[in-house]
Amino acid sequence: MPQSIITKNRVVPIDKIRNIGIIAHIDSGKTTTTERILFYTGRTYKLGDIDEGTTQMDWMPQEKERGITIVSAATTTFWRSVRINIIDTPGHVDFTAEVERSLRVLDGGVVIFDAEEGVQSQSETVWRQADKYRVPRICFINKMDKLGAEFEGTVREIEERLGANPVIMTFPIGKEQDFKGVVDILSLKAKYWDKDPLGIEYSESEIIPEDLKEKVLELRAKLVEKIVENDDILLNKYLNGEEISIDELKISLRKSVVNYKLIPVYCGSSLRNKGVQPVLDAIVDYLPSPADLKEIKGLNPKTNTEEKRKLVNEEKFSALAFKIQLDPHVGKLAYTRIYSGVLESGTYVYNVSRGKKERVSRILLMHANNREEIDKAYAGEIVALVGPKETRTGDTLADENFPIILEKIIFPEPVISLAIEPKTKADQERLSYCLQRLTEEDPTFKVKINQETGQTIISGMGELHLEILVDRMKREMGMNVKVGKPQVAYKETITKTVEGIEGKYIRQTGGHGQYGHCVIKIEPLGRGEGFKFVNKIKGGVIPAEFIPAVEKGIIEAMEKGALLGYPITDIQVTLYDGSYHEVDSSDIAFKIAGSIALQEGVKKANLSLLEPIMKLEITIPEEFMGVVIGDISSKRGKIMGTEKKSKSVIIKALAPLAELSGYATNLRSLTEGRGIFYMEPSHYEEVPQHIIASMLKNSS
């Protein structure tokens, strides 16, 4: 499709816009499905192939080489005169931040499942993420041509494992190598993709294969029942035995999908070009437009009261920057969802999160890594802004006179670290610049300097995550680095409450001295609660302007740790007493006092170490079950359950990340190369005392 057509047609009524994400477990066929959608809607002329590295959406060299999606790519296309903005998200758990930030700005989602694998671990994770942001969705059970494909079994799993309420919209005609097409349950028509190898043309028939007739009629009765359950008018008609038209059923089903009551389920094979068009129809028919969602809520930063914005062009401007990308041609791009109002290029926006005005010099419509310049962006659009320098992921942009802060995006903490250094001394400064650029892009990538060793430590969501980032530094920034061995991102915490802890900093030199004095109480919080600071200063014993400095000193001391140098977490610090000097007190003195108090306090509060625990899902042939379970137990792992699937067994377990270094190689050798596993962070747990003792011994 020529680019000018997108520009010409892009200003459509708000009810003709769909902002959708394609989300799934790794290897479910997400990118292939997106490529087929682009092909059938005329956005591309050629079918992209992951194995050949010719996909539109996976454009980074690392994505083409590895056949996986790393960054969420955005594009715009049209189907039945509806504008569909698509974000193709990664399936690999190491890039979970990409899914998290995309879901925050989407109105609807297409969740893809592998018909043989069913509901896998990452499917559960993305499903829960979509639940968190209340994203209406439809399901597409892909790979119906694969050996072992199980349509009804997967639908059952969607219901049982995800707690969803699925309704079957298309039923497969044949399976595995005999998969020919689908029966549309609502219209009772059979659709066959057997003549055109590219799948553009398909034939429709009123005649349903004889062996499926009974099943299809039973499914239609169930579908109608589930639709009318949520609609009083249709329920009356149904109970009175009146005929309900397909259009009435569609309108009612749409309402149920938008209100998270029903999940339509489709099936097909994207790679074989079968069954994709009904999914496109479903996106248009059932997924919400911004008009269906009506409004977005936020906080007024001045009054701290709730405010609402209608999702229309006539409303005051509000938008959310959900992703920062550094583009070699235009510099920093801020991917932004426009919720309300209109944004013009060359104007200023107010970054409410940072309290700064930012100039928007250009507005771009993105198609993966191709771009098209536009002069205005309207409510409901997803665009990239060039110009804002201070904007970060999750920042709200708004009209300066009518500020609003939209819900923030919360990202998981990194679980693995490694030391990194430039190959030559001259590159030290460039290394800082490269790392800063990458942290701007990726909120789950953290960088810190170890004060004692002077080493630069980078942390991320997994070994693959860090490997890709180091590779990007080399390719995109020409920065060659040496990396150390991956290290587990431990955390420190406390197990008992202590109070009356004093932090005093007094320095007397010629002229002004320094005086800061605070008294704190430290108590443990529940796992994953992070840090809370409570100010209980009464009667101005410490002036209000010095209290943020005490908090800052405490946070800095927490970063350094007190047991083995790992960050301290899950604690509450209450500042309740102290004193000050009229002349000598300063921010810096109170900051140092806060830092001293925390370091003294945690040493008395039974310091302990926390380690990341990983959720494992291991798929192996049955004969290796005993040896693999034994191996997990030897790694301090806990078996949570096993599940049989055709000739394989799936073992679900929890194990400490510290014990899982090189697990892929280990599993291959235990299972003659036939075992595969999936791993994702689960939670943090206390490290057994004998292991802490040996770590302390080794560090001394």
User: What DSSP character marks residue 15?
Assistant: G
Task: Note the pLDDT of residue 433.
Answer: 86
CATH 2.40.30.10 positions along the chain are: 295-406
Q: Which of 389, 392, 402, 320 is nearest to 357 (CA)?
A: 389
Task: Note the pLDDT of residue 96.
Answer: 65
Q: Which residues of the chain have pLDDT under 70?
A: 1-10, 43-73, 88-98, 367-370, 451-453, 510-511, 700
CATH 3.30.230.10 positions along the chain are: 492-605
- Do 489 and 612 touch, CB atoms closer than 8 A? yes
| 492-605 belongs to CATH 3.30.230.10 | yes
User: What DSSP character marks residue 236?
Assistant: H
Give me the CATH code for the 295-406 domain, please.
2.40.30.10
CATH 3.30.70.240 positions along the chain are: 610-699
Task: Note the pLDDT of residue 252.
Answer: 97
**How is domain 416-489 classified at the CATH fold level?**
Alpha-Beta Plaits (3.30.70)
* Calpha distance 226→494 (Å, rounded): 51
The structure's pTM equals 0.77
324-to-46, 327, 390, 558 alpha-carbon distances in Å = 29, 10, 11, 29
SS3 388: coil
Task: Note the pLDDT of residue 5.
Answer: 42
User: What DSSP character marks residue 399?
Assistant: B
659-to-201, 634, 635 alpha-carbon distances in Å = 53, 9, 6
Question: What are the strands of the beta sheet with 531-535, ordered from one edge?
Answer: 498-507, 514-524, 571-579, 531-535
Q: Report the length, in residues, of the chain.
A: 700
Q: Which of 488, 436, 439, 442 is nearest to 462 (CA)?
A: 488
- Do 549 and 594 touch, CB atoms closer than 8 A? yes
Q: Which two tokens stand for residue 679?
A: 């791993």
Q: Which of 179, 99, 94, 153 is nearest to 131 (CA)?
A: 99
363-368 long-range contacts, Cβ below 8 Å, gap at least 24? 364/330, 364/333, 365/6, 365/7, 365/10, 365/76, 366/73, 366/74, 366/75, 366/76, 366/335, 367/3, 367/6, 367/43, 367/56, 367/74, 367/75, 367/76, 368/56, 368/57, 368/59, 368/73, 368/74, 368/75
- Sorted by sequence, the CB contacts under 8 Å of residue 239 that are 6+ apart come out as none
pLDDT tens digits for 56-83?
A: 443 345 534 444 433 445 788 889 999 9
**How is domain 3-218+262-293 classified at the CATH fold level?**
Rossmann fold (3.40.50)
- Do 22 and 110 touch, CB atoms closer than 8 A? yes
Q: Which two tokens stand for residue 549?
A: 């400095």
Give the class (CATH, top level) of 610-699. Answer: alpha beta
pLDDT tens digits for 119-133?
A: 987 788 788 888 988
